[in-house]
Chain A
Amino acid sequence: MIGFEAVTFTYPGAPAPTLRDIDLEIADGELFLVVGATGQGKTTMLRAVNGLVPHFTGGELRGRVRVDTLTTTSPPREFAAVVGAVGQNPANGFVTDRVEDELAYVMENLGIPAATMRRRVEDTLDLLGITGLRGRSLATLSSGEAQRVAIGSVLTAGPRTLVLDEPTSALDPAAAEDVLAILLRLVDDLGLTVLIAEHRLERVAQYATGAARLDADGRLCFGAAAEILAGSELAPPVVRLGRALGWKPTPVSVREARQRAGDLRERLAGSNPPAPSAPSPGAEVLRLGGVTLRYGTREVLRSVDLRVHEGEIVALMGRNGSGKSTLLATIAGMRPAAAGSVSVLGADPQRADAAERIRRVALVPSDPGWLLYERTVAAECATADREHSLTPGTTRALLDRIAPGVAGDHHPRDLSEGQRLAVALAVVCAPGPPLVLLDEPTRGLDLPAKTRLVATLSELAAAGHAVICATHDVELVAELAHRAVVLADREIVADGAARDVVCHSPVFAPQIAKVLAPLPWLTVDEVLEATA
């Protein structure tokens, strides 16, 4: 269905090719997964399928990419009826204003008769379970809804192939399940070929019929999903567990691992997971008393109470749109609470002057690049030192502890996601604020970068900082958090030790907890330590 024939691609001005000698044949009806560290060409490879690379990006493409009868000599617009391509942030790709018009857009361009268009719009609304969204303005959709509409907007053309770049990365666990269910249905029932790139492998790996891994030199190796993942440092927790315990074949889904884990559960039944590593509660850093928040005219949180102490790492969870980001912005003093009191170390950050506020609380927004303005990393560090009146070199030293080896002369935009997050974190943490807030820090991070982030935040907490992390990433919560707070329907519905909160939740439980249920184990490392 999709064929790469000796494909080598180099971006204009790049010293080395991003894709090198790729030969790959993806058969009809596969759900094919592309894995690789960030910045290693997953997006480039996906965009080559419908000709966006090289027609839209420039650069030199050697070899041939073939879909059905079309090859990359055709521009992307000629692929519209053959390949449905959904980009990383679907909201950026919306052309019209309403859901219905968006679904019809591609058919208008293909010149499909109006009667057929109406029928296909109805079919697609039903197929994706979004009939309720028909007349909605695209600007009001949640991220999960937007992702489904984006898939619908390419499906109406009737393509046999779908290409999706990180379809679940920005979604909460439940919305991600919805999107994956749709993709499975398209593959299983309708026989479409689906090509996906994704960082959240624990969500998609189990459904993949084939996988390919892009390596740092631009080469590709491919095979069955289990094989490819077993050989990768990016593997999701069940694969790592199976690999460490020598299970053959390596399990990819929770079900497979659970079938193999009977012995393991028996061995672990007697022992307890390591005592919660939560520090003895230090001084109180944050206190929310009856806080009510509004976003526009909509009430997002009502009368919320929360206390956070020194040395604690709190995971803030909940659906997209449940008010996590708004709450963080309020704690950081960026927006006023509609009612109630916010107090960081006894003072309301909203009222404090700028210099005082940033000495108390730091917030890294969901796109850390927003915090960075200078032309180089070195200038960024120097500016932070000067603004906070620190000894020159303090920020750079902190950055080297968080992520060693970030070149000082790089532009912040040219860094990898992980490095950019590290720079942003160093810049706001340099003055040593007792409270550090992070909004969705793992979006776009591959596993090694995530591991480094966990280490960094744990160190911060050990040094007495309180950390609050809004996240959808249940594996991050399992690795990192002492405490989990779940927001739903404008309230805090759960607040307790992370292990208790996530272990028995069908939505928030990490993979290891599902494999070992009802035992309360969360991470591969815990299990391996106990069985060693």
Chain B
Amino acid sequence: MTGRLLHPFAWWAWAGALGYAALRTTNILLLGLIIAVSWVVVAARRPDTPWASGYSTFLRLGAFVVILRVLLEIAFGQRLPGTVLFVTPQVTLPTWVAGTSIGGPVTIAALVGAVAAGLQLAALLACVGAANSLTSPARVLRALPTPFYEVGLVVTVGLSFAPLATVGARRVREARRLRGRPDRGLASVRGVAVPVLEGALDQALALAASMDSRGYGRRGSLGVGRRRSAAAATVTAVVLTGAGAYALFGGSAALAPIALLLAALAFGISVVIVRTGAPRTRYRPDPWLAAEWITAIIAAVAAAAFTVAARLDPFGLNPPLVPARIPPLPALATGAVLLSVLPAVLTPAPPPEDSA
């Protein structure tokens, strides 16, 4: 067998760095570049498995978000100054809803702003979709340590939900055609969505039951007291991680390292407690070799470069909408995004599917 799959955490680190970049910029060109990079890497390193086909679904969802954002802007958006493209009929609202308007002149600046906001979300979706199709949910779960039992279960159900729903949707659409009903368009949404969601949820639950029957999250000889303290440490770790992530992306970035450090500490405590009572072993663990290091380092460098770029050149990353003009391509940020395309060639190719 030639080729191997990269460690899932390496791909998640890579996707995380790209997603972080997408959150720090509203520059249309940079956002487009981020999506393009994710596409190139997925095309190069996606294994030939069912869960790998979800990427295009995420892209379509992204396109939908952009269109929706633009339509909302045209209907309700702020009336920015600048070149007016067209005028929609305006509704005069009573004064107590000041600040909201319906219709009116639509400027280039307003449209560009809407596209940028939509594109930011689309780029984020592309990063999540890329990580989703480059790593299998099963491998992520294997790599998660035992104390995260409940969390791990939720993650598995969550991560396997999208691919299951994709397969289910195909089946349900075929069944609808068997009854001569439309399988596309708005009319079909309720008819397709309900059985697909139910079916995918049933399957995800069957998966959880099977994992539980096979000893996942076993506490072994652990006493009640230590079990509780391990659970408490785990919950603390999860809460602190959430707070850290919020601080990191939400603004008060200074607090993030402290929160994440505490989270790692709490997590370490719970691992140690559980290890002593219910050891868990690995059968041929996913190795962490040079390619994983390279990918992780690229991710770290790209994220750091983006942070620096945001400091040095705030207008390059978040170009002003007025006056409307083609945004610049700031060198450092562009370099950071382009660097992230390297895993497409620097990582080993996925193994070919042997279906013999």
Contacts and interface: CB of A to CB of B under 8 A. Distances in A.
Do the two chains bind?
Answer: yes
Interface of A: 50, 52, 55-56, 75-81, 83, 85, 87, 89, 92-97, 100-101, 104-114, 117-118, 121, 135-137, 139-140, 153-154, 157, 329, 332, 334, 354-355, 357-358, 362-363, 365, 369-371, 373, 384, 387, 413, 427-428
Nearest to A154: B214
B355 A387 contact: no
A82 to B, nearest CB: 10
Given A77-B212, A140-B355, A387-B179, A111 B279 contact: yes
Interface size class of B (residues with CB under 8 A): 35 or more
A136 B179 contact: no
Contact of B213 (A80, A104, A108): A80
10 closest A-B pairs by CB = A93-B210, A80-B215, A104-B283, A109-B215, A370-B175, A111-B279, A92-B206, A354-B180, A358-B180, A106-B214
Contact of A157 (B177, B214, B282): B214
Interface of B: 1, 49-50, 136, 138-139, 141-142, 156, 171-172, 174-181, 190-191, 194-195, 198, 203, 206-220, 278-284, 353-355
26 contacts: A52-B212, A56-B208, A56-B209, A77-B215, A89-B206, A94-B138, A95-B207, A96-B142, A100-B284, A110-B218, A111-B220, A112-B281, A114-B282, A136-B354, A137-B355, A139-B50, A157-B214, A334-B174, A357-B180, A358-B180, A365-B175, A371-B175, A371-B179, A373-B191, A373-B195, A428-B178
Contacts of A87: 206, 209-210
A365 B178 contact: yes
A340 B64 CA distance: 39
Contacts of A79: 213
A153 B214 contact: yes
Contacts of B179: 358, 371, 384, 387, 427-428
A358 B178 contact: yes
Nearest to B275: A111
A428 B180 CA distance: 10
Contact of B207 (A75, A77, A93, A413): A93
B281 A111 contact: yes
Nearest to A118: B283
A114 B214 contact: no
A114 B282 CA distance: 7
Nearest to B138: A96
Contacts of A153: 214
Given A76-B212, A87-B206, A93-B209, A107 B175 contact: no
A357 B219 CA distance: 57
Given A95-B141, A373-B191, 19 more contacts: A56-B212, A76-B209, A78-B219, A80-B215, A93-B213, A95-B207, A101-B284, A104-B283, A107-B283, A108-B142, A109-B218, A110-B215, A111-B279, A114-B281, A114-B282, A118-B283, A354-B181, A373-B194, A387-B179
A106 B215 contact: yes
B353 A92 contact: no
Contacts of B50: 139
B246 to A, nearest CB: 31
Contacts of A80: 213-215, 218
Given A358-B179, A387-B181, A95 B211 contact: yes
A108 B136 contact: no
B175 A139 contact: no
A111 B278 contact: yes
B280 to A, nearest CB: 5
A121 B179 CA distance: 47
Nearest to B214: A106
Nearest to B208: A56
A329 B174 CA distance: 9
